[in-house]
Amino acid sequence: MIDISNIHKTYITGSNKLHVLKGIDLKVEAGEMISVMGASGSGKSTLLNILGILDNHDHGEYLLSGIRIENLNERKAARLRNKYLGFVFQSFNLVSFKNAAENVALPLYYQNVKRKKRNAIAMEYLDRMGLKEWAHHLPNELSGGQKQRVAIARALIGKPKVILADEPTGALDSVTSQEVMDILTDINKNENITMLIVTHELDIAKRTQKTIRITDGLITEIIKN
């Protein structure tokens, strides 16, 4: 599903150059659930952003579901994100003035699905997350766990092939974190959606099939859980 080889990324700020990714090779099969660990600043988020086509890599090759990701224009990149990828962020990133259902429905809006239809679908996904009653609440009326479940529903609604989650439990307490992981493993099992989860917590990583350790811009260890 994901096939990257020799990926390099250097950040340039003013006269400073920061070589963050120094040749990453990774193959992720369809349906795999993988966690990414590593010290702060080791380049985990950088890697995930490149995989999410939110940022571009300087060197190397990236194939997403067989499609070569290189020098895409923003329109194509947006289409690919919409079709293949779902994002879950540490800080939820819900749109503040849209209620839960409208937030979930957003990816379908960009596919030009009619409002009525996409809101009905959004209700289904919210129902699966146990949030039907909260559909018409704005994000600031929801708890952290609820927000993250809305975000997961939003990531799922476009039927993506891959879900990229950057510290999805980073802002949640341990009980809620486990609940969110329950949902994610469930989705991975039942819908065969490939998952990459960046985390700092060992017990979260343990719930995935493989853990990749990044040290100083390189993959230094792959552990089977």
Ligand X SMILES: Nc1ncnc2c1ncn2[C@@H]1O[C@H](COP(=O)(O)OP(=O)(O)OP(=O)(O)O)[C@@H](O)[C@H]1O
DSSP state of 42: S
Contacts with other proteins in 149-178 (CB under 8 A)?
A: 154, 158
Region binding other proteins by CB under 8 A among candidate stretches 13-21, 22-30, 31-39, 70-78: 70-78
**CA-based torsion, 174, 204, 55, 126: positive or negative:** negative
Q: Which position among 42, 45, 119, 194 is part of the footprint of Mg ion (CB under 5 A)?
A: 45
Measured in degrees and rounded to the nearest 5, phi and psi for residue 107 equal -60, -30
Does the footprint of other proteins cover residue 120 (CB under 8 A)? no
**How many residues are listed for the chain in this entry?**
225
Binding site for ligand X (CB under 6 A): 11, 13, 18, 20, 38, 40-46
Q: Is 115 exposed, middle or buried (0-12, 13-18, 19+ CB in 10 A)?
A: exposed
Q: What is the rounded distance in angstroms from the CA atom of residue 152 to the CA atom of residue 156?
A: 6
State the CB neighbour count (10 A cutoff) for residue 61. 14
22 binds, among Mg ion, other proteins, ligand X, none (CB under 5 to 8 A by kind): none
Interface stretch with other proteins, choices 4-12, 73-81, 170-178, 203-211 (CB under 8 A): 73-81
**Residues near other proteins, by CB under 8 A:** 49, 52, 54-56, 74-75, 77-79, 81-83, 87, 89, 93-98, 102, 106-107, 109-111, 115, 154, 158
**Residues near Mg ion, by CB under 5 A:** 45
